Chains A and B, each alone.
Chain A
Amino acid sequence: MTPFEPILLANVGKPGSHTLAAYEATGGYAGMRKVLAEMTPAQVIELVKASNLRGRGGAGFPTGLKWFFLPKDHPGPIYMCINADESEPGTFNNRILMEDDPHQVLEGIIISCYATRAQTAYIYLRYEYPLSYDRLQAAIDELYAGNLLGKNILGKEFSLDIYLHRGAAAYICGEETGLIESLEGKRAWPRIKPPFPAVEGVFRKPTVVNNIETACCVTQIAARGVDWFKSMGVPADPKNPRDPGSYGPKLYCLSGHVNRPGCYEAPLGLTCRQLIDDFGGGVWKGRKAKAAIPGGISMGLLSESELDTPLDFAGPGKVGCLGLGTAAVVVLDETVSMVDFLHNSCRFFAHESCGQCTPCREGTAWSLTMLNRIRAGKGRLKDLDLLLEIGDTMGIIPGTTICGLSDGAAWPMKNAIRKFRGEFEEYIRRTNPTGYMETAAVEALPVLAHH
């Protein structure tokens, strides 16, 4: 296939790409200058709406629509939060953008704030990205020095301050209201909705939370236009008037058992197999793929036969995955035990659950104790049914939890057990030949350590 000319990753790899000088030398900030000079904030919102840009943070919510939800004629202040928490396992494209092209990010933030009339933007950055922190802060300092940030940007009435705020290593701070609570200095327990952040967000003022990659898409839409953006991707399904389509370029994070893991840019709609073979050099060590995570572990699993699924906002859902998520593909080769995989997944979600709502707090912990027992050779077939029941009942989709972390915890359980049931049953029968058929509750394993 014809190689795709990167746009979002265009500057990555060039020496000094993170500096203002290098960025402007290749046309950087021209889009922003044009927007500030020629468009009203309302026109910018219309532009982004027309592009059908969907958020790149995992939920795929149409960005223009999100901006549009801000209350009109609000006295302010209105806040923009940029979600740089990037904690979805398998995802690292935000890090590359922040480290190697921070100005593309900042230009998008400035345009977004202009459109939404935000005068303060907080970049919530996960603590584990120190280089991103240094590079972003340096870029922000350059902008202040050049009157591209601060009071009266480029002599216009538009003022903007951008603050870089570091997290402290919690996955739940990537959830938009968990992020807002953490930003406010509180325990990161996501808020109940309504009210939504557009109405009551940071300090209970109207707030928009956008992802780093989304901000970069805004930069490119302002520079190159709606037609360019919509020239790539998967068009909306004409039979579904509510489908916004999957337009524009996407950064795919490829990792796991491939020859060339890395971050690759291609239009939305690339299939998983194309990503692995054409970009990633194929499965490593001459092996075959057994399964692949399609978009960060929360999305679940694609089995080998499902690898031709297109990675757009509608594709993975058609084969029982939660959605596209962050399009972070992690490949598992044929030597991987799905029991190990699920155990690891359950351990992650039990550790990261914020704990405020019962089904997630207890459900993730219960799943982990069952997987612990299964791996210790004391599993029962009944455990698989219980894991599926937990997975089917917890989540914001059935309405039983406050946020989507539990859906993310549920999908790997549901996909792994439903798509690889035989392997789980075989493992349990083999490791617990005398007890696998037990259906009554069994004794818990003794707790040796509690961190």
Chain B
Amino acid sequence: MPTVIVDGIEVAIEKGERLNGIQAAERAGIDIPRYCWHPGLSVVASCRMCLVETGTRNPDTGQIAMVPKLVPACQTPATDNTVFVTTSEKVLQSRAMVEEDLLIDHPIDCPICDKAGECYLQDYHFEHGQKQRRADIRPFTSRRREMGSTVTLFVDRCVMCSRCVRFTREISGSAELMVINRGSDEEIDVFPGFPLENKLSGNVVDLCPVGALGDRDFLYKQRVWFMKQHDGVCTGCSTGCSILVEENQDTVYRLKPRENPHVNQWWMCDEGRYGYHHVHSGVRELEVRRRADSGYQNVEWAEALTEIDQKLRKAARLGVLLSPHLTVEEAYLLAKYARSIDTQALVALGPVPVVGEDERFHNGFTIRAEKCPNRRGVEEIVAHFMGRVATHEDLLAEIAAGGLRGVWVSGGYKAPSLDADTAARFDGLEILVVQDMFSSPLWEMATYQLPGAAFAEREGSYVNHADRLQTAQWAIRPPAGVRVEAGIYWRLLGGAGLYKARRVLDEVADTIRYFSVASRPVSPIGVDLKANLLAAATP
């Protein structure tokens, strides 16, 4: 097994693994500071912050021969017997010099900079920088320049790492960002008339190690140290990017991508990134209501659920629409509940929102036309209960044929999923329960209106287009008056205690072959459910 030695620590790497010094050091638990290197972009070795000493160890004698000059760890391959030294006097002085260099012309306006608290310049200054400023003092405020509709640039904070420029060339392929001028006059800019307008534009703000690139959606809204991060899954489309939901006191302020080599690498699209505002929309439904002759009346949850349960039992012939926005656990529980009342209950897949075509970018990142996170997962749940994938059309046909008396429609849609004409076809039922976030034609016909949760409030799993199951943590509590679907279904099924997604997933994995691999703990980057097919195939 090839071995790399970092500060005396031996790190074993796989034969054929191509690592650089930074990655090898990471394995040894050592963080080599850097600005310009990023695992998802080409190596430019221009910031010079990652300079280390390197050498080779003679495998026979154990003698170490060091190279006399410093080398960037990002461009130095870590192979068998490569030696890295990251803590020598030479290395520490070099880092202090680079850090000092970057601060010479920097406005150092942390009090008004969004990046404070997650800024490489701040962090590295404290860890590696000079104790005192030696360059001439020149306090000034950064100039600001808009790059496009999503990103703004604080010109003078830029450290010329060129990550953003490389992103627009290598990942989005749109090449809007460039460097202008030469030497210390260099700035990032866009060509006149060609602003930064591509659907992956928000990623350059994640990439920026300092506060130069700012997210116009997030600008000045919240200090990062007040926010808590929760592992989540983007519910914008069936790509299912791993994300972080950042919130403070139950308000979502920002979504960021989470590294997932199987799904989204380090990126997410703007639709997903900025697609959380509906969570705090002022027109979200917050009250449980019951239809009466005089109009809708508010009801308490407990009372409403008791009544609904009774009326569903009385209706006896049931149908449920499982929205592709529900988690696997929620879909399963709702179907199970319906079947616990009517063993022949029709379990159908809710309307699947599709907009346009799949959009593939330069490096392969794809924004999918299917604008929901869990059609695959819900489909398989439907198939398990029905033996086929029944759709909302099947359910409407059954209603028309008089075969159903009670229907529960689940939601989570950002916009009405059924138009007025289709909604009209739900007329004539004994009981129609509509559970969703926003009003819609169908909502206005419901016997019981139950306000539903948004993605940030759900805990549960989604299966993306490639059969990868990922589990999201809940990030915020739903607004007062709203209860998360999962908890309601759990309670209706007589479940004891708090709803925990993992318990339900255990049952789903045990019950439905498609999900069987998920019986083991699911890692933060998810699990490929197709592995179960291999297991099924091998005798």
A binds B: yes
Mark A residues whose CB is within 8 Å of B.
170, 187, 189, 192, 350-359, 361-366, 369-370, 373, 386, 393, 397-402, 440-445, 450
Which chain B residues in 154-190 approach chain A with CB under 8 Å? 159-160, 162, 179, 181-186
Q: Number of B interface residues, CB 8 Å?
A: 38
Contact among B44, B102, B105, B137 with A356 in the assembled complex (CB-CB below 8 Å):
B44
Identity of the chain A residue whose Cβ is nearest the Cβ of B49 in the assembled complex? A358
- Write out, one digit per residue, whether chain B residues 36-56 have a CB within 8 A of any chain A CB (1) or not (0): 000000011111110100000
Contact indicator A443/B48 (Cβ below 8 Å):
no
Bound complex: CA A308 to CA B398 (Å): 105
Query: Does residue B138 face the partner (Cβ distance < 8 Å to A)?
Result: yes
Which of B68-76, B337-345, B495-503, B516-524 faces chain A?
A: B68-76
Expressed in whole angstroms, the minimum distance between the Cβ of B300 and any Cβ of chain A is: 64
Between-chain CB contacts (< 8 Å), 23 pairs: A170-B182, A192-B75, A350-B183, A350-B184, A351-B182, A355-B185, A357-B46, A357-B47, A358-B48, A358-B49, A358-B101, A358-B102, A359-B48, A361-B160, A365-B104, A365-B183, A366-B101, A370-B136, A373-B136, A393-B93, A399-B70, A400-B94, A441-B137
- A362 in contact with B105 given A355-B186, A393-B97, A441-B133 (CB within 8 Å): yes
Bound complex: CA A338 to CA B538 (Å): 83
Expressed in whole angstroms, the minimum distance between the Cβ of B69 and any Cβ of chain A is: 3
B residues within 8 A CB of A442? 136-137
B residues within 8 A CB of A361? 101, 160, 183-184, 186
A residues within 8 A CB of B94? 393, 400
Which chain B residues in 5-63 approach chain A with CB under 8 Å? 43-49, 51
- A399 in contact with B71 given A192-B44, A355-B160, A441-B137 (CB within 8 Å): yes
Contact indicator A353/B138 (Cβ below 8 Å):
no
The 3 closest A-B pairs by CB, nearest first: A399-B69, A362-B101, A444-B136
A residues within 8 A CB of B160? 355-356, 358, 361
Contact among A362, A400, A444 with B138 in the assembled complex (CB-CB below 8 Å):
A444
A residues within 8 A CB of B134? 386, 441
- A443 in contact with B183 given A356-B46, A399-B51, A401-B48 (CB within 8 Å): no
Contact indicator B70/A398 (Cβ below 8 Å):
yes
B residues within 8 A CB of A443? 136-138
Contact indicator A400/B183 (Cβ below 8 Å):
no
B residues within 8 A CB of A399? 51, 69-71
Expressed in whole angstroms, the minimum distance between the Cβ of B475 and any Cβ of chain A is: 38
A residues within 8 A CB of B185? 355, 450
Contact indicator B71/A355 (Cβ below 8 Å):
no
Bound complex: CA A397 to CA B67 (Å): 12
Bound complex: CA A355 to CA B48 (Å): 12
- Write out, one digit per residue, whether chain B residues 68-92 have a CB within 8 A of any chain A CB (1) or not (0): 0111100100000000000000000
Contact indicator A352/B183 (Cβ below 8 Å):
yes
Query: Does residue B480 face the partner (Cβ distance < 8 Å to A)?
Result: no
Contact indicator B44/A354 (Cβ below 8 Å):
no
B residues within 8 A CB of A373? 136
Expressed in whole angstroms, the minimum distance between the Cβ of A145 and any Cβ of chain B is: 40
Contact indicator B183/A354 (Cβ below 8 Å):
yes
Contact indicator A398/B48 (Cβ below 8 Å):
no
A residues within 8 A CB of B45? 192, 357, 402
Contact among A362, A370, A398, A402 with B184 in the assembled complex (CB-CB below 8 Å):
A362
Contact indicator A441/B135 (Cβ below 8 Å):
yes
Identity of the chain A residue whose Cβ is nearest the Cβ of B70 in the assembled complex? A399
Contact indicator A400/B51 (Cβ below 8 Å):
yes
Identity of the chain B residue whose Cβ is nearest the Cβ of A192 in the assembled complex? B45
Contact indicator A355/B182 (Cβ below 8 Å):
yes
Bound complex: CA A386 to CA B104 (Å): 13
Contact among A187, A351, A358, A397 with B47 in the assembled complex (CB-CB below 8 Å):
A358
Bound complex: CA A442 to CA B132 (Å): 12
Contact among B46, B72, B104 with A366 in the assembled complex (CB-CB below 8 Å):
B104
Bound complex: CA A443 to CA B137 (Å): 5
Contact among B46, B72, B101, B182 with A353 in the assembled complex (CB-CB below 8 Å):
B182
Contact indicator B183/A355 (Cβ below 8 Å):
yes
Identity of the chain A residue whose Cβ is nearest the Cβ of B184 in the assembled complex? A365
Bound complex: CA A239 to CA B51 (Å): 34
Expressed in whole angstroms, the minimum distance between the Cβ of A408 and any Cβ of chain B is: 14
Query: Does residue B108 face the partner (Cβ distance < 8 Å to A)?
Result: no
Expressed in whole angstroms, the minimum distance between the Cβ of B178 and any Cβ of chain A is: 8
B residues within 8 A CB of A441? 132-137
- A353 in contact with B75 given A359-B97, A359-B101 (CB within 8 Å): no
A residues within 8 A CB of B101? 358-359, 361-363, 366
Bound complex: CA A131 to CA B331 (Å): 80
Query: Does residue B98 face the partner (Cβ distance < 8 Å to A)?
Result: yes
Bound complex: CA A359 to CA B49 (Å): 10
Contact among A187, A353, A402, A444 with B183 in the assembled complex (CB-CB below 8 Å):
A353
Contact indicator B183/A369 (Cβ below 8 Å):
no
Expressed in whole angstroms, the minimum distance between the Cβ of B421 and any Cβ of chain A is: 57
Bound complex: CA A441 to CA B108 (Å): 16
Identity of the chain A residue whose Cβ is nearest the Cβ of B53 in the assembled complex? A399
A residues within 8 A CB of B133? 441
Bound complex: CA A336 to CA B104 (Å): 31
Contact indicator A402/B46 (Cβ below 8 Å):
yes
Interface centre among A170, A192, A442 (most CB of B within 10 A): A192
A residues within 8 A CB of B104? 362, 365-366
Contact indicator A397/B183 (Cβ below 8 Å):
no
Bound complex: CA A398 to CA B69 (Å): 5
B residues within 8 A CB of A365? 104-105, 183-184
Identity of the chain A residue whose Cβ is nearest the Cβ of B161 in the assembled complex? A358
A residues within 8 A CB of B137? 441-444
Expressed in whole angstroms, the minimum distance between the Cβ of B214 and any Cβ of chain A is: 22
B residues within 8 A CB of A364? 183-184
Interface centre among B43, B72, B101, B133 (most CB of A within 10 A): B101
Expressed in whole angstroms, the minimum distance between the Cβ of B237 and any Cβ of chain A is: 35
- Write out, one digit per residue, whether chain B residues 96-112 have a CB within 8 A of any chain A CB (1) or not (0): 01100110110000000
Bound complex: CA A440 to CA B132 (Å): 9
Which chain B residues in 170-223 approach chain A with CB under 8 Å? 179, 181-186
Identity of the chain A residue whose Cβ is nearest the Cβ of B72 in the assembled complex? A192
Identity of the chain B residue whose Cβ is nearest the Cβ of A446 in the assembled complex? B138
Contact indicator B182/A369 (Cβ below 8 Å):
no
Bound complex: CA A450 to CA B182 (Å): 13
Identity of the chain A residue whose Cβ is nearest the Cβ of B47 in the assembled complex? A358
A residues within 8 A CB of B181? 355
Bound complex: CA A400 to CA B101 (Å): 12
Expressed in whole angstroms, the minimum distance between the Cβ of B236 and any Cβ of chain A is: 36
Expressed in whole angstroms, the minimum distance between the Cβ of B263 and any Cβ of chain A is: 31
Interface centre among B75, B94, B104 (most CB of A within 10 A): B104
- A351 in contact with B138 given A192-B45, A359-B101 (CB within 8 Å): no
Bound complex: CA A365 to CA B136 (Å): 12
Identity of the chain B residue whose Cβ is nearest the Cβ of A193 in the assembled complex? B75
Bound complex: CA A361 to CA B45 (Å): 14
Expressed in whole angstroms, the minimum distance between the Cβ of B453 and any Cβ of chain A is: 48
Expressed in whole angstroms, the minimum distance between the Cβ of B132 and any Cβ of chain A is: 7
Bound complex: CA A398 to CA B135 (Å): 22
- A362 in contact with B70 given A369-B136, A393-B93 (CB within 8 Å): no
A residues within 8 A CB of B43? 192
B residues within 8 A CB of A358? 46-49, 98, 101-102, 159-160
Contact indicator B71/A187 (Cβ below 8 Å):
no
Bound complex: CA A356 to CA B160 (Å): 7
Expressed in whole angstroms, the minimum distance between the Cβ of A79 and any Cβ of chain B is: 22
A residues within 8 A CB of B51? 399-400
Interface centre among B70, B72, B75, B134 (most CB of A within 10 A): B134
Bound complex: CA A353 to CA B51 (Å): 20
Expressed in whole angstroms, the minimum distance between the Cβ of B165 and any Cβ of chain A is: 10
Identity of the chain A residue whose Cβ is nearest the Cβ of B75 in the assembled complex? A192
Bound complex: CA A399 to CA B93 (Å): 13
B residues within 8 A CB of A187? 179
A residues within 8 A CB of B162? 356
A residues within 8 A CB of B136? 369-370, 373, 441-445
- A359 in contact with B46 given A365-B105, A444-B138 (CB within 8 Å): no
